[in-house]
Structure 1
Amino acid sequence: MTATRFFLIRHALVEPSARAVMYGDMDVAICALTMAQDTASYRWLASRLPSGARWFTTPLSRTQATAAAIFAAGYPRAELEVEPRFVEQHLGDWQGISHEEFTARLTEPPHPFWPHSAGERPPRGESLDDVIGRVGPALDGMAEQLPGQDVVIIAHGGSIRAAVAHAMGLQPQQAFQLSVKNLSLTRLERHGTDWRVGSVNEEPPLPAA
């Protein structure tokens, strides 16, 4: 059976002013300085991704700018399709506040590797379980609609963790144990109704010493 292969990339690092707050799914810009410094990462992604793939981004400009940088680094330009279900976790009323204020509002102990627990649902916002609940069906639907195709998705740390959690049947709290760095690559495959994880948080090789 021919697999549908997914190549999920976390967007580039955002501007320092955005990193000073809990920005969630706010539309914030990528950092121009680090973008100029990350040319090797963009070239690596351009060479690592399969040709002829379908490309998807979220509605947020940081994913679309990351896709444009990969095209500029050598990947043949492709049409970008928008899939809103891969957007970052919405933090509701807590979105845009400082990290210190965010911590003060928590109702559950934070995860050891994340500012909040997987079960924390800010007022009018989402928990990680909610994110898994929208990303999982999106992946399944795309696999059914695009059998045997290669699919590139420029997404976010939260939605990529949710995708891996869906593929592996992880509990939300376990998903926060996954490191998903900016410009890292995560590869998933769906064979029939079964998921296989090719890699998580794949990064370009370090330069030779």
Structure 2
Amino acid sequence: MAPAPTTRFCLVRHGETDWNIERRLQGQIDIQLNDVGRQQAEQLSRALAHAGHGFAALYVSDLARARQTADAIARHNGLAPIATPDLRERHFGPLQGLTYAEAEVRIPDTYHQFKSRDPSYVPGQGESLACFHRRVKDFLDQVATRHPGQTVLVISHGGVLDIAYRMASGLPLTHQRDFPIPNAALNWISHSNGRWTLERWADESHLEHSRDEV
């Protein structure tokens, strides 16, 4: 029997924003890249063009910071970005727009429940970790089925990459994150025969500046 085809994913968190610098929770608020973020997108685009991975498709969150990062890649790599809300960051409810320090003071109960990583907890009108996980996993599973044996590029957000890492490594949702998710770094996972595998993570060799997901 022939081995099952392997679909490879290159996952990228968008370039830097001013809110990243401020440690402000962006969630699904539509924030633009800053100057460093735009520079990172260009560095990323050139690195991908030089590497010649032969991507079959480019999927991107429909939020501006991800679309701007993908647009830079498209200019140098001949890929048409496919935007989708399925790749949006988690909706953080009343935490969106606040820094971590502000949230801890203004809405301490919400903040501490959020930090506990209880998968079932819903912050206000936001999204539970369990629902967010299901949204991301369902989408990536669909893309893997759509592109058997191919390599695809995904531009999204820190939270989405957090879920992808846990899918590929087996780290539970309830465990605190112990791995980096820098802006505009390259992260590789693969899918074959219904299983996800972690290949390589947080490659920043093409960047002059990067900032970890908060």
- On whether the aligned pair clears a TM of 0.5, the verdict is yes
In the alignment, the residues of structure 2 paired with residue 55 and residue 17 of structure 1 have an alpha-carbon distance, to the nearest angstrom, of 24
Q: Which residue, out of 6, 13, 18, partners 2:16?
A: 13
- Report the 3-state secondary structure (helix = DSSP H, G, I; strand = E; otherwise coil) of the residue aligned with 2:125: coil
Are the counterparts in 1 of residues 17 and 34 from structure 2 also a CA contact under 8 Å? yes
Q: Equivalents in 2 of 1:155, 1:189: separation in Å?
A: 17
Q: Is the 8 A contact 2:25 2:95 kept in 1?
A: yes
Partner of 2:211: none
Q: How many residues align?
A: 202
Residue equivalent to 1:94: 95
Cα distance in structure 2, aligned partners of 1:107 and 1:4: 42
Provide the rounded CA distance (Å) in 1 between the counterparts of 2:59 and 2:42.
Answer: 21
Q: Deviations over 1:117-156 (max 9, x none)?
A: 3226421112433321211111112111221121111010
Aligned alpha-carbon RMSD (Å): 2.7
- Residues 182/94 of structure 1: CA separation in 2 closer, same or farther (3 Å cut): same
TM-score normalised by structure 2 residue count: 0.81
> For residues 49 and 6 of structure 1, do their structure 2 counterparts lie closer, same or farther at Cα, with a shift above 3 Å needed?
farther
Q: Aligned-pair distance for 1:68? A: 1.8
Amino acid in structure 2 at the alignment position of 1:82: A
Whether the 8 Å CA contact 2:40–2:184 is kept in 1: the answer is no
Q: Matched residues in 2 for 1:68 and 1:159: separation?
A: 19
TM-score by length of 1: 0.83
Equivalent residue, structure 1, for 2:127: 126
3-state DSSP class of the match of 2:16? coil
31-40 vs 77-86, which moves further:
31-40
Q: Deviations over 1:92-134 (max 9, x none)?
A: 12211243221232438869xxx83322642111243332121
Q: Distance in 2 between matches of 1:176 and 1:145?
A: 30
**Unpaired segments ≥5 residues, structure 1:** none
Distance in 2 of aligned mates of 1:54 and 1:69: 15
Tell me whether 1:64 sits opposite 2:63 in the alignment: no
Q: 2: distance between equivalents of 1:109 and 1:86?
A: 24
SS of the equivalent of 2:124 reads: coil
Task: Give the unaligned 5+ runs of structure 2.
Answer: 209-214
Residues of 2 paired with 1:93 and 1:203: CA distance? 32
Amino acid at match of 2:156: A
In structure 2, the residue matched to 1:45 is 48
**% identical equivalent positions:** 27
